[in-house]
């Protein structure tokens, strides 16, 4: 494995919905940083905890490959990554070390608002637009339904109007985006929130001790907020 490291490296989203809250949470644990000029790396000053600022989709892979020790990411991204990895026979156990209670959303099936919902069997043979094919596939298998995932990396909600798909499976928080596209959520396949993701085993070198200290402070910070 990698060379010994006595500093903890935490991956967080560079921008987007989870980036600022993740930094605020870590700052509330007493962390301070010196930022690199390109703002991709933050060197921890008050504790040996460095940040890597990346796309959220890259966070599970960075942990699985041992480049980072922990990450703050949506459960939706973690679950999809785990199932994709499993499908390739490269199962690496990443687990949720903490649930953070913010960044909440649902991965929902949504259908044309004019249509009636009678249950999952209704999806048989339909094209389902999604950015989460593995999570969707697992749910369809559990339901015993065969459908055709159409993988899109953005603008999932307009796929039915463009004729690319019949229904969608997408993240929903307020539901405004679905409504604007004449879609209505009918069932939830995953409840998501921001989590601290990490390996399914203890860290090596001195890093587990640093992680324990960080998590103790984090638990304190989360309790203070409640």
**Phi, psi angle pair for 116, to nearest 5°:** -95, 150
Residue 176, binding choice from ligand PRT, Zn ion, none, Cβ under 5 to 8 Å by partner class: ligand PRT
Question: What is 3-67 written as a DSSP string?
Answer: PP-SSEEEEEESSSTTHHHHHHHHHTTT--EEE-TTSSEEEESSSSEEEEEE-GGGHHHHHHTTS
Distance CA(197)–CA(94), nearest Å, equals 7
Q: Which span sits near Zn ion by CB under 5 A: 17-25, 51-59, 89-97, 99-107? A: 51-59
Residue from 56, 58, 69, 108 touching Zn ion (CB under 5 A): that is 56
Residue from 39, 55, 161, 216 touching ligand PRT (CB under 6 A): that is 55
Residue 192, binding choice from ligand PRT, Zn ion, none, Cβ under 5 to 8 Å by partner class: ligand PRT
Q: Which of 121, 125, 126 is nearest to 143 (CA)?
A: 121
At 152, list the tokens.
């899109």
Length of the chain, please? 226
Residue from 77, 140, 169, 210 touching ligand PRT (CB under 6 A): that is 77
Q: How near is the Cβ of 144 to ligand PRT at its closest, in Å?
A: 27
Q: How near is the Cβ of 48 to ligand PRT at its closest, in Å?
A: 26
Q: Given the rule CB under 5 A, which residues bind Zn ion? A: 56-57
């Amino acid at each position: 494995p990698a060379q010994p490291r006595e500093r903890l490296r935490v991956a967080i989203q560079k921008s987007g919905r989870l980036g600022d809250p993740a930094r605020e949470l870590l700052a509330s644990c007493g962390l301070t940083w010196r930022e690199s000029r390109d703002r991709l790396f933050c060197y921890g000053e008050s504790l040996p905890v460095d940040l890597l600022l990346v796309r959220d989709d890259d966070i599970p892979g960075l942990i699985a490959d041992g480049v980072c020790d922990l990450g703050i990411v949506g459960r939706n991204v973690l679950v999809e990554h785990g199932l994709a990895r499993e499908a390739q026979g490269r199962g690496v156990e990443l687990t949720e070390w903490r649930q953070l209670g913010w960044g909440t959303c649902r991965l929902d099936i949504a259908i044309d608002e004019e249509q009636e919902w009678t249950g999952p069997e209704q999806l048989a043979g339909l094209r389902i637009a999604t950015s989460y094919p593995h999570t969707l596939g697992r749910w369809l298998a559990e339901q015993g339904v065969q459908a055709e995932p159409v993988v899109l990396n953005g603008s999932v909600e307009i796929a039915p109007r463009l004729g690319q798909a019949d229904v969608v499976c997408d993240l929903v928080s307020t539901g405004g985006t679905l409504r604007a596209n004449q879609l209505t959520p009918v069932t939830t396949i995953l409840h998501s929130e921001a989590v601290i993701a990490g390996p399914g085993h203890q860290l090596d070198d001195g890093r587990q001790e640093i992680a324990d200290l960080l998590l103790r402070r984090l638990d304190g910070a989360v309790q203070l907020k409640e």
